[in-house]
Amino acid sequence: MKTHSHHSTAPIPPSIGAYFNYGWQIFSKKAGLMLGYFFVTWLMYIGTFLLTMPISIALAQLSPLVMALGVMLMAAAVVIVWLCLINGNYLIAAGIDQGEPVSIRTGFGALKKWGPLLGGNFLKGLIAYSPYLIGFGIWIIQYGEIMQQEILALKSDSISDPVEAMSTVFSFYGTILGSLFTHVPFLIGLVITGYLSVAFSLTNAYILVGNRTAVDALKSSFRLVNAHFGSVFGTFILLGFIVLASFLVPLGTFVIMPFTNCLLYGIYAVHEQPKGAYEEMLDEFGDPSETDF
């Protein structure tokens, strides 16, 4: 087997600047490759989505039940493949970081980890969003009847003036949102969900680069982020502003997606100094040096 050496670096002090610098250094070295990989995965997603249409029509000729089962199975397959492919840039980033030859095919190595990725993201969503859903459910129970009365009153009002009608609608939604964002259980749930979402944000990096199981990846991400929560949370706040700004630039969102993978990899790499994940993928998918993008 071909051996690969990992570069040795001194520990990097964790900070927002260090995370962004690490992520940018990785992205800038192979920006064309990462953008190309992201473009290819989007084409594959659109292609598979369009392919489901004629297949669904063909299955409908057999029976509605067969069509329903077929659509569910195809949807599940598309979700699993897409979940793997959109995270493939982690493997490309790891290869770049270790000075290895990388190509678009490198990212497809994420398909090998479809089980842990599916399990990790399911558990992450279940744990992180449960507090939000519980808080929202409590609000629905407490204010459901009041909302229903407001809706009935809105329907019964016959307002001919467009300006007055629009004012009434805005007033209705203002009342609803006001009660929602002043509801203590909902706010507590929202804060907990935000915290857990950040705490579990490195789960996919631990699965793909660290070769962890879904549960181990969740635990490792939680421990690392919790130990450096201020700098990681600040990184996400700054990234949020960058994402908003990207909407003002043509194709800005197309660039920001692969960069986000590099940034998250940078947070992971600053602390973990990753070793060896890339070599495992070479055994399964071969050396991509002959087909470098």
Convert the pLDDT of each residue in 174-191 to its tens digit.
Answer: 777 788 888 899 999 999
Domains of the chain: total: 1
Task: Examine residue 61 and state whether it is found in any structural domain, yes or no.
Answer: yes
User: Is residue 7 included in any domain, yes or no?
Assistant: no
236 phi-psi bin (left φ>0, alpha ψ -120 to 50, beta other):
alpha
Indicate whether 180 belongs to any domain.
Answer: yes
Residue 1 in any domain: the answer is no
Q: Is 8 within the bounds of a domain?
A: no
Name the token pair of 272. Answer: 């973990």
The range of the structural domain enclosing residue 46 comes to 16-291
Q: What is the per-residue pLDDT across 205-255, written as a single tens digit (0 to 9) for each?
A: 999 999 999 999 999 999 999 999 999 999 999 999 999 988 888 777 788
pLDDT-derived band of residue 291, with 50, 70 and 90 as boundaries? Answer: very low
Cα–Cα distance measured from residue 45 to residue 146, given in angstroms and rounded to the nearest whole number: 43
- Coil, helix or strand at residue 224: helix
| Residue 173 confidence (pLDDT) above 80 | no
Q: Is residue 157 part of a domain?
A: yes
- Whether 97 maps to a domain, the answer reads yes
Nearest to 180 by CA among 139, 228, 119: 139
Q: Has residue 3 been placed in a domain?
A: no
